[in-house]
Amino acid sequence: MKRKYFLNLLLGLNPEKNKPFNTKKAVLVEMLEKVINGEKLNTIDEYKLVQCMNVSALTGKLEEFYSISSCVTENDICKHRATNCNSICHDCYAMQSVSYRTNLELSLLVNHIVLNCFDISVGAWKTLAIPSINGKARLESHGDVASVQASDNMAKIQLSHDHLTFGVWTKNYGFWYQTFKKYGKPENMIFLVSSDKKNSVVELPEHIRPYVDHVFTVYDFETVKANNVNIQCGYHHCKDCMRCYTKGNTEFYINEILKKDTKKYKKYMGIE
C-alpha cells in the first residue's frame, strides 16, 4: 500500500497558500503513522479520513457532474501506460491537467492516500457529502483505480450512497474483480471498461465480462469516416446524454470521438 512512501511524500509537502491541504495533511500524517505502527483505526479516525476527501466539480463535456477521483500522477499503472505511444493513455488529459494545476493535484493526492492506504467502513463513508446531477455521479474522472484497497473503498462509497447512481470507468478491471468477489457489484454502479488503444475495442476476459455494463472506446476521425463507426460520445455534454449513467441501457459498446477531432466530426455529421 506504499504507506511509508506516502508518509514521506506528505512530510515533504508544505504549500504555504493551501491551508485546506495542510489541514488534511495533518490528519493523513497522524493516521498513516498509526497504521504503520500497527494501531487499529477507530470510528472517529475513519470519520476524520472521510472528511479529508475532495469531491470535484467537473467542467467541459462533464459540466454539472461531480466526481471522486484518485491521483493519476501517483498511479504506477497509469504512468507506465502513459509512456506507451500505442496506448490512449499516451495523451492522457488528466496527466496533463494536474501537471499545471497544483491545487488539483494536491486534492487528488489526498483522495489517493485515503483510498489506497486505509480500509474504511461503509458506515464512515455515509458521512461523505456527494453532490449529484439528477442522482448521477462519477468515480475516477482524473485517473484510475490503483489497488484492490482503493476499489474496495469505492465500492463501499457506492454501497453507502445507494440513492445515487455511479458511473465508473477503468482499465484496471482486475482490481475491481477482486472487489466484486468480496462485496458483489453494487446495484447502483454502472461499470465501464475503457479500451487501452485508440480505434481498438478491448477484448474482455470471460471472468470480468458479466460485471461490465459498457465497453468504452475512443476513435479518431479518419477511422470513424472509413469504417462508419457509430459515435455516441464526445460531441455533446454528458448531462444531455446520460447513456453511461442510466441503468438498463443495453448499448454494450460506447464510442467517443477523439477530443482533437471533435470539430471535424461535427462538421462531417452536420452537427451544429
Domain boundaries, the chain: 55-269
**What is the crossing angle of helices 102-117 and 43-52, to 10°?**
150
> What residues form DSSP beta bridges with 256?
218, 233
pLDDT for res 98: 66
> What residues form DSSP beta bridges with 191?
168
Measured at the CA of 257, the angle between CA 251 and CA 261, to 5 degrees, comes to 170
User: Are the CB atoms for 111 and 68 separated by under 8 Å?
Assistant: yes
Q: In whole angstroms, give the CA distance from residue 172 to residue 59.
A: 24
pLDDT digits (tens, 9 = 90+) for 219-251: 999 999 999 999 999 988 999 999 999 988 999
Higher pLDDT, 33 or 272: 33
Among 127, 152, 126, 120, CA closest to 139: 152
The alpha carbon of 35 is separated from its chain's Cα centroid by a whole number of angstroms, namely 25
pLDDT digits (tens, 9 = 90+) for 162-188: 999 999 999 999 999 999 999 999 999
Given a cut of 90, is residue 134 above it in pLDDT?
A: yes
CA atoms within 13 A on the CB side of 89: 22
Q: In whole angstroms, give the CA distance from residue 131 to residue 143.
A: 20
Share of the chain above pLDDT 90, in %: 81
Nine cell digits for residue 126? 455515509
Dmax (CA) for the chain in angstroms is 62
The alpha carbon of 136 is separated from its chain's Cα centroid by a whole number of angstroms, namely 14
The torsion defined by the Cα of 231, 192, 168 and 211, in degrees rounded to 10, comes to 150
The SS3 assignment for 46 reads: helix
Helices (H), 101-245: 102-117, 122-125, 148-160, 173-183, 221-227
pLDDT digits (tens, 9 = 90+) for 34-78: 999 999 999 999 999 999 999 999 988 899 999 999 998 888 888
Task: Tell me the C-alpha to C-alpha distance, in Å, between residue 166 and each of 30, 61, 96, 143.
Answer: 31, 17, 25, 16
The torsion defined by the Cα of 133, 137, 140 and 146, in degrees rounded to 10, comes to 160
Q: In whole angstroms, give the CA distance from residue 27 to residue 150.
A: 19
Helices (H), the chain: 3-11, 19-36, 43-52, 76-82, 93-100, 102-117, 122-125, 148-160, 173-183, 221-227, 262-269
